[in-house]
Each structure stands twice: as structure tokens, then as C-alpha cells.
Amino acid sequence: MDTARRRPIELIAIDMDGTLLDPGHKITPRVKDAIHTAIARGVRVVLASGRPVAGLLPYLAELGIAGNDEYCIAFNGAVVQNIGTGERVVEFTLGIEDYRYCAAIASELGVHFQGLDGERMYTPDLDISPYTVADSFLTHTPLSYRAVADMPEGMRFPKMMMIDQPAILDAAIARLPTGFAERFTSLKSSASFLDIFDGRAGKGPSLKRLADRLGIDRESIMALGDHENDIAMLEFAGTSVAMGNAIPAVKQAARYETATNAEDGVARAIEMFVLQS
């Protein structure tokens, strides 16, 4: 990977699942060491995930990212939060009518559905999907079954999801009604998850808003990711790195490719573009 004639990296934006975390959902020692060394050299590290903030906090704590001038990007960019103060400097949410509409579409298409309000995960499905249960566990988000008619007025949702077996989900995506894409942004964050959120959000747009707030030029940003919801972030960053396990569209969007998340790919990229520069 050629590192010549690039600006020094001031901010590293890192996707979580499939990127920062290994297949066992852990941060490997080599990745942790590389991030700690980068931070010690004054480089900002921002976790950018489809997860809710609660699903990022244990890993932020593990990495020692906790100050009043530190930020994370959650819910695919629907939220940018100051980690130390809890202030949300970016927040785009969908309303209860959006939830009802998407739940009805999911039911018609035969896929499971869930919505996150920032505190809990809600599903209208009596036969709760095992993917929903797993997502609740991995992101440290309490899960509730609640019929659509029982959802209170005024609820707001940073993210909603259609969620199912990959083949079933892909078939449903192909049948989404005309106008769905005009009302929402929807991107796959994994083979089994279709994330649905406000069109103003996204990892790329929210990374830009954060960079503007911090006074950091895009050419001084490195971004790493593996799935469809990372593409806008990779396209914005001056140094874009696809994981070796990334889907083909991500590898096409990124300028560089590193090793897989099972092979310390994040550490290798940081060592190459930050620590050896």
C-alpha cells in the first residue's frame, strides 16, 4: 500500500462489526495496541457503527476513549454523540408513523422488523427473530415485544430494521414498494440486516459534520469498513480502507484493502498509514 504524498492522518473512523471486532466480537491485542499508539500520537479515533450508543460504550471504555472532546457515530450516523458529556451533536430520527408504515411493509413482505428508540429495541413480531435476539444481546439493548397499536404516540427512532435470513431479506428488498427509497435511506449493515433511517443521516454525512466541527480536512481522515453502510464514509475519507472480508462493493469503493478482521486488518492499516508515516 503506497503511503507517499499523503497528509498526516488526524482522525480514524472505524466501523465495528466485521472491522474493529474479530469474528468473536473481540478487539484483538494487536488492534488495541495500534489504536492506543495512534491516540498517544494525538490521532482521534471515532467508532462509526450501525449499533446504538449503548452497543459502543463497552468498546469505547476498553479503548480508553471517554473524554469530553471524544465522539462516536452511532445508528449509521443518525446520532453523533459526545462520549464524555452525552451531548448529541447530530440527531436525525424517524417518527411513529414511519414505524407503523415500515412494520406494515415488513409484514406484507414476510420479514421480521424492529425499531430502536435510543433506549430499547421494539419488535411487533410474536415469533421474535433469533437475529433480533442476537442483535439485542450484542448491542446491549433491552428488547421488548409490543404490538404496533400499543406503541405510544410521539416515539422517535434513530433506526429501524428489517431483519431475516439473507435469502428471505434479499427477496423482500427486491419487492420494496416504489417510494420507499424516497422516504427513507436503507442500507444493509450485514447479510441479515437492512437498516432504515432518515435520509439526512449516514456514516458519510455524519463523519463530514463531525470533521467540520473539529476542523479536520477530509484528506486527513482514514476510514475503515466492510459492508454497504460503510461506503459513504469510505467515499468521504481521504484514505479509505476496505477490510479483506469486505463485500465486493466496499472493496470497489475503497482506495486500499487490508487484511480481514480475523487477521488484525485494522491494526495493519493503522500501522501502515499512521504509525509508519
d(CA 52, CA 88): 13
Give backbone dihedrals phi and psi of 99, rounded to 5 degrees, phi first: -60, -50
d(CA 222, CA 59): 19
d(CA 30, CA 69): 25
- Nearest by Cα to 12 from 222, 212, 220: 222
User: Degrees (nearest 5) of the Cα angle 229, 78, 242?
Assistant: 25
Give backbone dihedrals phi and psi of 77, rounded to 5 degrees, phi first: 95, 0
Contact 84, 72 (CB under 8 A): no
Residue 1, C-beta contacts closer than 8 angstroms, at least 6 positions apart: 256, 258, 272, 273
Any catalytic annotation for residue 15? Answer: yes
How many residues are recorded in the chain? Answer: 277
How far, in whole angstroms, is CA 169 from its chain's centroid? 19
Choice among 2, 15, 117, 164 that is catalytic: 15
Residue numbers annotated as active site: 15
